[in-house]
Structure 1
Amino acid sequence: MTAPQADLIVDRPLVTDGAALWRIAKNSGSLDLNSSYSYLLWCRDFAGTSAVARGAAGEPVGFVTGYIRPDRPDTLLVWQVAVDAAERGRGIAARLLDGLTARVAAEQPVTAVETTITPGNTASERLFASYADRHGAAVERSVLFEAGEFPDGPHHPEVLYRIGPLTPTSH
């Protein structure tokens, strides 16, 4: 893995980033693609719990979307993480995840991060395992949604990864 670019900036997404986030997700080859409209809304309504990595010209080259769970206000759920194919292998996803959790934790108490990963998505499994290692947190895994629960055809199960407890110094 090569070092991340020195001029890479991790920032809150803007509505104008929505199209680029949709394109990065579409080209990822592994994410469930949401509507372009949803990425615009995400950049508007969940910018505080999401992050974008900007390249030298300010263009988005990666993103992480998330939200605080309404029934667990100490838990940040990470919805999607994606990095443009040309920028992969530079630690951008880890930098996005670390930057986002540090920013959110500075604004409210966050003691856990959750995400779902389909079996076989080794890149995501490694990303979240290394995040847990860096932050000295345990990882609990359980099936959140079985394959048969998805109404729109064949889908792999979604395994919930719960990482925590996070301490204020581990963000």
Structure 2
Amino acid sequence: MTAAQAHLVRAHSHLGRPGRTEGSFREMPEGLELDTPHVEDGAAIWRIARDSRVLDLNSSYSYLLWCRDFAATSVVARGADGEPVGFVTGYIRPDRPETLVVWQVAVDHAQRGRGLAGALLDGLTARVVDTLGVSRVETTITPGNVASKRLFTSYAERHGASLEREVLFDGGLFPDGGHEPEVLYRIGPVASTAVF
């Protein structure tokens, strides 16, 4: 095992205590717990993404792989029954190891309006800042996705980080036609103030 792989294993097992926040971090809503996704969560995460009706839905197989290969840079919120009710998937940019790319964020309809997406994003970034040395966050958002624009704009404000936007992929690059452009949001620097 390489040093980088060992670091990811440590990150995979290092999560903050549920509900524990400090500074500008959002607290997990009552009754929910922040956790690392497991392969068995892939189907639930796929369903939450599908039911969002906003996200580009990937194959169910890809969510299983994500829970296996990128669990250290992703989180789920678990309800009292242990089932995921929200998630954030992310990965470290290979050419920029200080940057976490947030791939998807989704919350089950029954949990919306409780600040869960922000709490998941705060919990994940606190973990990867502390364990992987991440100092920047990137994501892409289509112009019509108002909820995601609010989520990441408020995240940057909450953490006192700068936010830059630019079109990353023009709509014409997508082969299926009719796809909105993907706007890159660059946020940073970010620092952890969470207590683990």
Query: TM-score, with normalisation over the residues of structure 1?
Result: 0.95
Distance 1:45 1:107 in 2: 17
> In the alignment, what sits opposite 2:139?
115
Distance 1:110 1:130 in 2: 19
> In the alignment, what sits opposite 1:48?
72
Task: Provide the identity percentage.
Answer: 71
Report the 3-state secondary structure (helix = DSSP H, G, I; strand = E; otherwise coil) of the residue aligned with 1:167.
coil
Distance 1:46 1:119 in 2: 27
Two-structure CA RMSD over aligned residues (Å): 1.5
Answer 1 or 2: higher relative contact order, Cα 8 Å, separation at least 6.
2
> In the alignment, what sits opposite 2:125?
101
> In the alignment, what sits opposite 1:128?
152
Gaps of 5+ in 1: none
Q: Given the alignment of the two structures, is residue 30 of structure 1 paired with residue 54 of structure 2, yes or no?
A: yes
Code of the aligned partner of 2:37: P
> In the alignment, what sits opposite 1:163?
187
Distance 1:54 1:169 in 2: 23
Query: TM-score, with normalisation over the residues of structure 2?
Result: 0.83
Deviations 1:95-154 (A, max 9, x none): 100000011111121111000000021100000011001110010000000000011222
Distance 1:154 1:37 in 2: 25
Code of the aligned partner of 1:42: W
Distance 1:54 1:47 in 2: 15
Aligned length: 169
Gaps of 5+ in 2: 1-26
1:49–1:4: structure 2 CA closer, same or farther, 3 Å change rule? closer
Deviations 1:37-88 (A, max 9, x none): 0000000000000000001111100000000000000000000000001110
Distance 1:142 1:5 in 2: 33
Report the 3-state secondary structure (helix = DSSP H, G, I; strand = E; otherwise coil) of the residue aligned with 1:159.
strand
Q: Is the 8 A contact 2:126 2:193 kept in 1?
A: no
Q: Is the 8 A contact 2:48 2:107 kept in 1?
A: yes
